[in-house]
Structure formats: C-alpha cells, structure tokens
Chain A
C-alpha cells in the first residue's frame, strides 16, 4: 500500500498544506520541560538504545550467574564465552558475542511485585501515588528529539509489549506499541483521499484549538500533540522500518521466524532510521513451576538466537558503537527451588546485561555469594543502570526535569554510574 508519495501529492506538499494548521499546534505545554545544561555537548548525538525486556522476571541464576554445585544451582551448567565471563550452556550463540556485552551481577533491588518491579526498573523510581515518572524510552527520546529533526516516526517504539508510560512528560512521549509482525493498523490513507485529508485536518485543527483555549487542563493539549505526530507518521517513508519483509531475505533468515527474532530485526531497522529508543518484549519468564524445562526448551533458545543475531548484526553494520543494549526484567527469581520445580520472585541479588555505545565489553561487574542469595560487592540499582546508559548515550546526568508539581528531578533519579563499565 502506498501512503507516502501518491501521484501529484508529495509528502512535502501534503505537509505544506498542514503547515498552517496542526504543525503549528506544537505550541507546547510547559509540562516536563528539561533544563538542558549541556546542550552543546549533545549536538551531534546519534546514539540509540535497544532494551530487551524480559517480562515476568527472568531467572538470572540460570542464565548469567550460574552456581554449579550449590544447592540452589539448578540443572544448568556454565560454559565459557568469547568474553571474560561464563554463562548458561543453553546460550551457546550468545556466548560467542559475550566479548561485546557485559554482565552486572550485583543488582540488588526491593520490588518483587510485577507491577511495582516493572515500574521501578523502567523509571528508576518506586511507584508513588502522587506522581508518575517517565520511563526509559520517554526520557531518552525526550532528551534526543531535538537532535533528530529528520525523524518523522515516533522516537520511542515498543515491540510486542506495553513498556511503561511517559509519566509527567506527557502523552506525546508515550511508547508507540506494535506487535512483532510490524503491522500497524489504520495507517493507510488512499492516495486519492490525501487532499481531502488535508481539508479535514484543517477543520480539525480549528476544533482542537478552540477547545484547548478553554483552559480545561492538559488532556486537551496532549490530544493535539498526538494528532500532529500521527499525521507525520502517516505520511513518512521511514515507516518502512517496521516492515521486516522489506529486509533482504538473507537478513530475515538470520533472525529466524520466531516473534522475538523478528522483533530484534525490527529494532535494528528502527535504530537505523534514527529511532533513539526501541524496547523489545520477550515474555514468559514468570516460571513458578517447572522452570528448567521451560527455560531449556522455550525461553532460552528464543532469547539466544534473537539476542546473539542482534548483537552480531549491529556490530557488522558498525551500529553497535552507537547503540546501547540493555537486557533486563522486573526482577529475578529465588535461588531456592520451590516445591513445584519453579523459582519465585527475587529482587535482592540478580543480574542485568548491558553493552554497546562504548560501554566496556566482555566483563562481569560485581559478584553474588556462593548460592546466589546475596550480593557481595557494591550493590547496583535500577537508577545506576539508567544513569550508566544515559552517560553512554551522551545524555548529561545533570539533566533536570521539572515535574508537574514543580519539583526538580534529576535524570535517572540521581543514580550513580557503574564505573567499571567506563574504562
């Protein structure tokens, strides 16, 4: 379906028609302004991040920090890797690219409920009834948007999951959620209707503004901003990035037909056209029952293939040096194996994996004790990981948001950079 340049109606022409209407609607609301103290330093920032979100709470003791021989060790054995770390035997492909990633083994957090954990790991803040904090994708896309004037599609894309919201930054920084098929509903406008669409948009713009001017609160203005973004997207060639079938066959084959693999491919395509933050969701880690069989036969093979292919592909294309990878879930799972052969929720000692964007690769940061129940070195938190990623992306840690209750809030909740990853 053609939606970008129908005969006699180029995108530029179409947007030109809109210039007087919805584009001007961007007279932005002052919600969540960030004070850019280091604007100059960011000017040419083309860095991006891909988060591999393991929804449900992945068992890191079975993947990244094995405890062979310990009563909590479980069924899997560690294997050596291309990096200076060992990982699970069921991650053989990823083992070959561990010289490009690093494991933080001293994560220690407190939120072991799905909702709270997801919120905390995505925002760096614990849930608070009075304020909603912006999530990773919202923060990073908000901080990099100005440097990407050519980006016509949403700067924060979530594939296969819901991610977390934009909080006080406002709905225009919300994730754009798509499924792993990359199909986006209701996108196509018939070329012969574009001109009529322009007329309609102009009428709509009038109605929108009239209502906004009645001072009824932020929701009216947020709606107008979303409309503007939607129009941009409807007419952009960059939307091809979502169409993984446009990838040469060889490339498609590498990632395979599994939904996670296809999501990883889409993430690479999106980063390539300049999307600063993509989140890929792989669910099914809430393994209270029969964990080892599920991991061995389902979760780990899918993860291994998708993750290793993504890292290799980004590296081959020279994108890895500018693309941060973050692998994590809301928490991990109990070292103790329960009566149903599963592991329950556990946040006190666990691992996340990061890499790319200049982060020091191939190492394990921190250490847990011999049965994996406690962290023995300096504990790291969600804020620390977020601060580390922001620094790697060239986003100043002095960035301060003004939340809508007027309180200044440091980016990444003042987390401390994990220094081992900057060598």
Chain B
C-alpha cells in the first residue's frame, strides 16, 4: 500500500520537476527578446493622419514645453492594448485578442484596433455594456433603483442606454431625450421610455435634484449650492437656480413618492398653475432669500434666454424647451469633451470634471474649447471623440514616471500635464467583466439580463449610501481592505481560480500546451504580458510546494481530487489576479 503511494508521489514529483525544468528552459530565449518597438515614427507624435489627433498632440505638447517637462517613453504595445480594451470596452483583452494585436504586421495597427473595437459589430455588445454601465452610474448613481422603495427602474435606464449606445445615437440626441422624457420607466410597458428613469427619482422638494443634476451632468454647472443662497465662490446666484428649476415644474411622477416594491412608475407632464394665487398663463414660482424675503422666478436658461411664462403644456412644454436650449449650449459640448477626456486619461481639464463655471480655470483651455467644437462639428458622434483621444500621444505614453516629468503628479496638487499615463484603479464593473474574459467564462454567460442581474447583486456589496436626501453615495471598491478581502477570498475569485474538472484552469493544465506556455498564458490573460525570469522561478517553487502538499495528503490517506498542475496554476493565477498590476489601469 505505502509502496504504491510512495511510487505515485515519486512520479508526481518527477512530473512537477519536469514541468519546472521545462518552464525555465523554454523561457531562456524569450527573455532576451527585445521589447516591441512602438509603431510611431520618430520625431513628433504620430497623428495617424487624423487632424483632431494632431491638434490634441500639439496642444498637450505646448504645455509640456511651457513647463519644461519631458514625456515618458511610449507604453509597450501590450500595455496600450490592455488599456484601450479596458477603457473602451470595460474589460481586458483576451489572450487571443492580445496576441493578434501584438503579432500583426499591418501598418498603423493602433488605429486599426481602435476602429475594430469601435465599429466591428462583434464588439457592439461589449461597447454598449461598458458605456451603459458608465452612464447609468452617472445618471442615477450606483444605488439608483437598487433600494426596495424607489421610483427608478434600473433595468429600464440600462435598456435605454444600451439601445442608445448600440445604435450610435448622437450624444446631443441622448441629452435631449433624457431631459424631455415622459412615459413608463419599466421595460415591456406600452409607453415604456427608459430615459424617464433619469429624472423620476429627482422630483422631490420641487425637483431640486432634477435641477441640480441636469445642470451638473450636461452643462458642467454646479448650481446646487445656490438653491438656498448666493454662492460665495461662484457667480451663479440663487435666482439662476430657481429659474432653471422652473423648467421642471410641469413634471410629475405617478406615484408621487416611492413605494415599497413598486410595480411601475411613470414620468408625466401636466399644466402648472404656478405658486401663490395660481395663474397658469403666468405660472410663477417663489423662493426665499436667507433674510426671509420672497423672490419670484420664471423659466430662464443659464445664458439668459427666456421661454414662455405660461404653465399650459399646449403653450409650452418647459422641459422640451430646456432640452433644446441645452443642445444649443457650448457648455454641453465642453462638458462631454471634458468627461470623456477624464475617462481615458484619468484626469479632466477641470477638477471636478462637472464644474466648468468661470471660477474654475481649465488646465488646457484651448484644447477643451477645441474638442467641444469638434464634437459639435462631428454631429456628436461619441465614437469619433473616443478615436481621437485613444490615438493621441498622451494616451500612448507609459505610466512609468521618468526623470523629465517627476513634477507632473496631480496627486501633489499640480494640474495634470499628461506627460505620463496616470494609473488608476479598475472600477468594480471592469473587474467583473475582466475576470469573465480572463477565465473565458464570457462565452458561456447567460442572457444579458441574467448576467446583469448577477453582476448587480455582486456590485451591491460595495455601495455605501450617505444618509441624506440627495442620494449621495460612495463605493468601498476603492483600494481598501474590503476590496482586498474580496479579491483574496471572494466567490468571484474562487470561481476564477477553480481548478476542478471542466474549469478554465483545469482545461489549460491538462491541455497540450508546453508547460511554459501554460504559465505564460495566465500572465497574458491577467496582465497582458509574459512572466519575467524571477516570476518563473517563483512559479516553479509553487509547483514543487503543490507536489509536496499532495504527497502529504496522500500519506495521510486523504483524497486528492484536483490535478496537481491545475492546483499549482491556480496559485499562480491567484497571485496574478490579486496584484497591483492587475487591478491598476496602467
């Protein structure tokens, strides 16, 4: 009996050592390979023949020169590829996608990759999912529609956004629809209009939140502080808040307030009689100054444009008028340009990105102005804006800080100069989607709705709501201990490193890749790079330790179910997925 076990161990041990040796030898050559050369031409940054990219590069370089800063080197092609998948599609590239990009001999392959993931119909679902996530969180927050007592139908919001992004709806049209929406919030209802979910949770207290959030999200104007008083630090006065607010006063919801486990809610317009004595032909509203004096207001846009004072819908649909005015405003153009720049580069031209008021000077005013104008000229095609930004020089730089740009660190309170790529953490949703891709589980995922439901349940654990009426919230998926615990021990990770029969790792372990290739595959899947020499050494140690453990288990007559190679690969993959390099967009 014991002889048989002993024999089994010996062969296991031999197998493990064999694997270890193979790993080292087969990588001896790979290590001396020179890093991939960037595809850009020498001198000046590549502009890929796109005038907008050329101009972005010029404007960014101007600030470098003014500040005597030098940019970091180019990121490797693999880093850049991982970056662009994460930002555009909300997930890392699969090993196949990565290798395809790295090995292609085509010219201008970066531009081709961007075009592919933006316009190839194979990527439409990923693209739409990512931007739906981003905009759902912007419009209704991570918690919107998640409580039992709510008017918001989160699925409805997501459905609207998904359709909009999948069909490449121009941004200005989306803004128009979100501001002027009426209808049912719930998918499947006859008058379903998912866009109604943006405003329906913001109508309490005379639509104060609708006023504040519409101004902030679409115009980059922070009017919320001026609800109660003239703001000491910005030029917006209390009157402006209430004039903007007047646009929302024909709006109502059914039911008026959130109820527990609500079946359906509707966003509607109705004639507004005004406050006080109530004459709908001049539907006036009142607000109070701090000294108790009453002031009156009618709908007036932030630029001073007045609309009809009538509260009758047949005379004037105030939200439709507002939506038209927002579409005309250059603030809308600049706000979306700024928001998108921040999404890709980590910092916007202003901080916060949704405060473009005159008191908050942008870091690159000319570029912000230019990008806003170009967005308008290109009919608000978001994919074009994405193309310009992702192909810009700033987006192509390494996140490694160089001697010539140490001073460029926004964490030190400096305005960003974009001389190197600023690292930032993946969002919880990006992590979720990336794990699916890294373990090739995305192919067997259920229907869109089922999958979103699973993801939504998982995401809930990270949301902390603040106890106030403005629905403010924070996330604990921010690089703190709960997140580290989740990545070390959580179910999602357990599943990702599952090495039982039929799992991703088991398939690799028993497959006919060379041992070195198996380890490399895991590094490429998680980190978009091959392992270094010392990482390979470490992997070998893990394989040996796994062998010892299984031997001990066998000596104790415990059942060993997992394949030893698969278990060792699980340890490697665990380390990869828990590393800073994995979780940081770099």
CB distance from A126 to the nearest CB of B (A): 9
With contact pairs A184-B485, A288-B205 given, residues A207 and B464 touching in the complex (Cβ less than 8 Å): no
Q: Are A217 and B422 in contact (CB under 8 A)?
A: yes
Minimum CB distance partner of B534 in chain A: A206
A208 within 8 A of B: yes
Q: Are B485 and A199 in contact (CB under 8 A)?
A: no
B:435-492 near A, CB below 8 Å: 461, 464, 466-470, 472-474, 476, 478-486, 488-490
A131 within 8 A of B: yes
Q: Are B580 and A406 in contact (CB under 8 A)?
A: no
B:532-571 near A, CB below 8 Å: 532, 534-535, 538-539, 541-542, 545, 549, 571
Distance A345 CA – B227 CA, assembled complex (angstroms): 10
B401 within 8 A of A: yes
A2 within 8 A of B: no
CB distance from A6 to the nearest CB of B (A): 15
Interface residues of A, count at CB 8 A: 72
A:202-241 near B, CB below 8 Å: 202-204, 206-208, 210-212, 214-220, 222-224, 226-227, 229-230, 233-234
B133 within 8 A of A: no
B29 within 8 A of A: no
Distance A129 CA – B347 CA, assembled complex (angstroms): 12
With contact pairs A220-B584, A286-B468 given, residues A207 and B412 touching in the complex (Cβ less than 8 Å): no
B302 within 8 A of A: no
CB distance from A371 to the nearest CB of B (A): 12
- Contact string against A for B residues 327-362, beta-carbon threshold 8 Å, 1 for contact and 0 otherwise: 000000000000000000000000110000000100
CB distance from B471 to the nearest CB of A (A): 10
A28 within 8 A of B: no
Q: Are B571 and A220 in contact (CB under 8 A)?
A: no
Distance A9 CA – B485 CA, assembled complex (angstroms): 20
Q: Are B479 and A405 in contact (CB under 8 A)?
A: no
Q: Are A113 and B225 in contact (CB under 8 A)?
A: yes
Q: Are B584 and A285 in contact (CB under 8 A)?
A: no
Minimum CB distance partner of A230 in chain B: B484
A384 within 8 A of B: no
Q: Are A227 and B578 in contact (CB under 8 A)?
A: yes
Q: Which of A76-84, A142-150, A169-177 lines the interface with chain B?
A: A169-177
Q: Are B535 and A171 in contact (CB under 8 A)?
A: no
CB distance from A104 to the nearest CB of B (A): 22
Q: Are B468 and A56 in contact (CB under 8 A)?
A: yes
B266 within 8 A of A: no
Cross-interface CB contact of A219 among B232, B400, B424, B474, cutoff 8 Å:
B424
A253 within 8 A of B: no
Distance A207 CA – B277 CA, assembled complex (angstroms): 71
Q: Are B469 and A288 in contact (CB under 8 A)?
A: yes
Q: Are B412 and A200 in contact (CB under 8 A)?
A: no
B13 within 8 A of A: no
Query: In the complex, what residues of B have CB within 8 A of residue A227's CB?
Result: 484, 578
Q: Are A345 and B228 in contact (CB under 8 A)?
A: yes
Q: Are B466 and A55 in contact (CB under 8 A)?
A: yes
- Contact string against B for A residues 181-198, beta-carbon threshold 8 Å, 1 for contact and 0 otherwise: 000111111000001100
B96 within 8 A of A: no
Query: In the complex, what residues of B have CB within 8 A of residue A203's CB?
Result: 538-539, 542, 571-572, 574-575
Which of A115, A206, A284 is the most central at the interface, judged by chain B CB atoms within 10 Å of its CB?
Answer: A206
Q: Are A171 and B549 in contact (CB under 8 A)?
A: no
Cross-interface CB contact of B579 among A208, A214, A282, A406, cutoff 8 Å:
A208
With contact pairs A185-B486, A204-B575 given, residues A218 and B411 touching in the complex (Cβ less than 8 Å): yes
Minimum CB distance partner of B229 in chain A: A112
A92 within 8 A of B: no
A336 within 8 A of B: yes
Minimum CB distance partner of A178 in chain B: B482
Interface residues of B, count at CB 8 A: 66
Cross-interface CB contact of A222 among B205, B229, B479, B534, cutoff 8 Å:
B479
Minimum CB distance partner of A282 in chain B: B467
A57 within 8 A of B: yes
Query: In the complex, what residues of A have CB within 8 A of residue B472's CB?
Result: 114-115
B65 within 8 A of A: no
B518 within 8 A of A: no
A154 within 8 A of B: yes
Minimum CB distance partner of A126 in chain B: B233
With contact pairs A112-B228, A112-B229 given, residues A199 and B400 touching in the complex (Cβ less than 8 Å): no
Q: Are A219 and B412 in contact (CB under 8 A)?
A: no
Query: In the complex, what residues of B have CB within 8 A of residue A199's CB?
Result: 541-542, 545, 571
Q: Are B549 and A195 in contact (CB under 8 A)?
A: yes
CB distance from B550 to the nearest CB of A (A): 11
Q: Are B474 and A216 in contact (CB under 8 A)?
A: no
A118 within 8 A of B: yes
With contact pairs A199-B542, A215-B400, A217-B409 given, residues A185 and B467 touching in the complex (Cβ less than 8 Å): no
Query: In the complex, what residues of B have CB within 8 A of residue A297's CB?
Result: none
A403 within 8 A of B: yes
Query: In the complex, what residues of A have CB within 8 A of residue B580's CB?
Result: 207-208, 211-212, 219-220, 223-224
A62 within 8 A of B: no
With contact pairs A161-B467, A187-B485 given, residues A214 and B400 touching in the complex (Cβ less than 8 Å): yes
With contact pairs A196-B571, A210-B532 given, residues A161 and B466 touching in the complex (Cβ less than 8 Å): yes
Minimum CB distance partner of A114 in chain B: B468
Query: In the complex, what residues of A have CB within 8 A of residue B578's CB?
Result: 200, 204, 227
Which of A168, A189, A203, A288 is the most central at the interface, judged by chain B CB atoms within 10 Å of its CB?
Answer: A203
B576 within 8 A of A: yes
Query: In the complex, what residues of B have CB within 8 A of residue A196's CB?
Result: 549, 571
Distance A162 CA – B464 CA, assembled complex (angstroms): 6
Q: Are A219 and B479 in contact (CB under 8 A)?
A: yes
Query: In the complex, what residues of A have CB within 8 A of residue B422's CB?
Result: 217
CB distance from B87 to the nearest CB of A (A): 16
Q: Are B232 and A110 in contact (CB under 8 A)?
A: yes
Q: Are B480 and A176 in contact (CB under 8 A)?
A: yes
Distance A234 CA – B490 CA, assembled complex (angstroms): 13
7 closest cross-chain pairs (CB), A and B: A283-B467, A55-B467, A223-B580, A405-B413, A130-B413, A203-B575, A162-B474
> What would be 28 A-B contacts, judged by CB atoms less than 8 Å apart?
A55-B468, A57-B468, A110-B232, A114-B470, A115-B472, A130-B351, A162-B464, A168-B411, A174-B480, A176-B481, A177-B464, A184-B485, A195-B549, A199-B542, A202-B538, A203-B539, A207-B575, A207-B581, A208-B579, A210-B532, A210-B535, A210-B581, A217-B422, A229-B484, A230-B484, A286-B469, A404-B412, A405-B414
